Structure 1
Amino acid sequence: MMSFLQLLLLGFIPVVLGGYVPPGPRYTCPKEPIYIYPCTCERGTDQGLYIRCENTNLASLSLAFVNLGNEPAPIEELTIYKSDIVRWYGPALYPLDVRVLRIIDTPLKSIEEHSFLGVNRTLQELQLVGSRLEKFPREAFQILGNLSELIISGHNLAALPGNGFSGSLAAVKLERLEISNGTLSSLPTDALTPLKKLKSLDLHGNRIEELKRNQFKGLRDTEFLDLSDNLISKLDPSHLADLTKMGWCNLSRNSIGELKRGTFARNSVLKVLNLSHNNI
């Protein structure tokens, strides 16, 4: 007959052999994937779901988003890829709690006012990549009071309006702004002034020819500036004087002909400066 100690040890063997099984993520994908078609849930995490929607349209997305909104899980990242959407309008996003929204390689030309109603409560990062955006959607953006990152890469914007962020909640927490790889040529001096917390400004790959006096007025916390691959021909001390915390500046691949004395005199913490491929 086995002793009590032997029985006790045998009872522990399955536990030892099985090892520790960590719990699954806090949020899991829907059990019935058909209800969120044409979207798919790539994975669940402790922060929320990763949802991807491909080759679809706004009407189909609206139905899928209603069903997603009924799920007891926030969306950490929502990616809309290669879809047939030219004009974004209506309450499609209203049922969702989304932290990161990415619209990629979709021929989006305009985003109407109220398009982000509802999702404005949670949206922190918005990426529009490979769009055909023709007008800066000021009215749509103005309710995004939790936005910390805005990326518009690949676009047909000709100008950033002077009042683009004026009176906008989007200006309150925005730390990173990228408007790149497009047709931007006009940058009014007051366009970026409301962005008091901006740390990174990326305008590379546009058609900016001229910087104006006090071009970056108000951007006293900005540490990173990328103006590479533009058409800038002149650089003056008054252009960058307000960027007193700038530590990284890329002006490569422009048409700058000379560098005046004192151009970077006010940029006392500048550590990296790239002026390659100019006419200096």
Structure 2
Amino acid sequence: MFSHCCILLLLSVFSLTPLSLALPFEQRGFWDFGIDGDGGGLTTMMMRDVEEGSAVEDPAPPEFPVCPFGCHCQLKVVQCSDLGLTEVPRNIPSDTKLLDLQNNRITELKENDFKGLSNLYALSLVNNKISKVHPRAFVPMRHLQKLYFSRNLLTAIPKNLPASLVELRIHENHIKKVAEGTFSSLGTMNCIEMGGNPLQNSGFEPGAFKGLKLNYLRISEAKLTGIPKDLPESLHELHLDHNEIQAIELEDLSRYKQLHRLGLGYNHIRMIENGSLSYLPNLRELHLENNRLSRIPKGLPDMKYLQVVYLHSNNISRINVDDFCPRNFGVKRSFYNGISLFGNPVQYWEVQPATFRCVNDRMSIHFGNYKK
């Protein structure tokens, strides 16, 4: 407790100080804070804190994943396209979800190229020069769902594809054979795109698709002369356009009862054997354009759910009144939304109006003018 004399002394000192000298503090440099009565109090205080362990230390700089040279890394996406790479780059962050390596010059996938990338969801290798893939190259990728391998130099589908794979696009390679057990490591897939390969019917070995449940398959622009045997029975969409198929025989479609969409356009089909389409009770869309058919395929009126039929650019010269619609209205469950017949040598004015009695709208019928 201060004594009375001390208080009086302090009051007298303050009373003698002119108001004009009581100026606000002005900092001229950092060390101004360290100049106090005991010769560097701030410095002494910091040294004491360090000794006692209570000083505020500078935080360590955050650790950022290393991004491969020339690539762009952001939000678990690593983009290394169009860099002229000849091999898979190193130091790819382990948390990468999407790896883009398209438009490079990679020639080979080695065993450890994707080591540590267990979180990878999508891998794009489109437009490289890959001709060799190590059998264990994809083993680390336990969660890979999308693999884009188009426009490379592969002669066979890589082995040991990840069991998690949902989508495989491998068109425009040099694949001539699909060996037995190629997809044995896979269970259920949504899409396989393998068009643009020199595949013949003999190139599909028995058991190539054994055990695979597949929704969508496209083998276009190949060298098929018929519908391949032993494709997955679970298919909802099958596209075989731009091939050399000449006929549809009775048993060709017998195992594909789940098909909703069938693409056979741009082939050389002259004949569809009676009863062939009866194996497709759930078909919604049928592509037969740009073939050599001379008549409407038999069996269309009995397809309860068929809604779209492409028949343009064939050699059809006559259309009968019952070619599309059943005599009994109760048989047809879904009316047609589209029937294309242009590019055929048929005189549309000779077609009876009742021919299209099970079509939703007259605008759904496309005749056009035939020019030889």
The answer, yes or no, to whether TM exceeds 0.5 is yes
**Number of residue pairs matched by the alignment:** 238
1: CA distance, partners of 2:291 / 2:112? 38
Contact 1:36 1:65 in 2 (8 A): no
Please say if 1:273 is aligned against 2:365: yes
Identity over aligned pairs, percent = 16
Q: CA deviation at 1:33?
A: 5.6
What letter corresponds to residue 250 of structure 1 in structure 2?
S
- Structure 2 match to 1:113: 206
Mapping for residues 16-165 of structure 1, pairs under 5 Å: 34-35=110-111, 41-42=123-124, 48-53=145-150, 54-58=152-156, 61=157, 64-66=158-160, 68-69=161-162, 74-97=164-187, 98-110=189-201, 111-118=204-211, 120-121=212-213, 123-137=214-228, 139-141=229-231, 144-165=232-253
Residue 209 to residue 36, structure 1, CA distance change in 2 (3 Å): farther
- Structure 1 match to 2:132: none
- Structure 1 match to 2:315: 231
Please list the CA deviations of residues 207-227 of structure 1 after superposition, one character each: whole Å capped at 9, or x if unmatched: 111225x43143110111111
Q: CA deviation at 1:232?
A: 0.9
Q: Report which structure shows greater RCO (CA 8 Å, sep ≥6).
A: 1
Please list the CA deviations of residues 105-143 of structure 1 after superposition, one character each: whole Å capped at 9, or x if unmatched: 11111134322113x22x100011111101211x312xx
- Structure 1 match to 2:283: 198
2: CA distance, partners of 1:188 / 1:217? 15
2: CA distance, partners of 1:185 / 1:36? 51
What letter corresponds to residue 178 of structure 1 in structure 2?
G
1: CA distance, partners of 2:340 / 2:233? 29
Gaps of 5+ in 1: 1-20
Gaps of 5+ in 2: 1-73, 78-94, 101-107, 114-121, 126-140, 327-331
- Structure 1 match to 2:51: none
- Structure 1 match to 2:65: none
Contact 2:219 2:241 in 1 (8 A): yes
Give RMSD over aligned pairs. 3.2
Q: CA deviation at 1:92?
A: 1.5
Query: Partner of 1:177: helix, strand, or coil?
Result: strand
| Greater strand proportion | 1
Q: CA deviation at 1:27?
A: 6.2
- Structure 1 match to 2:338: 248
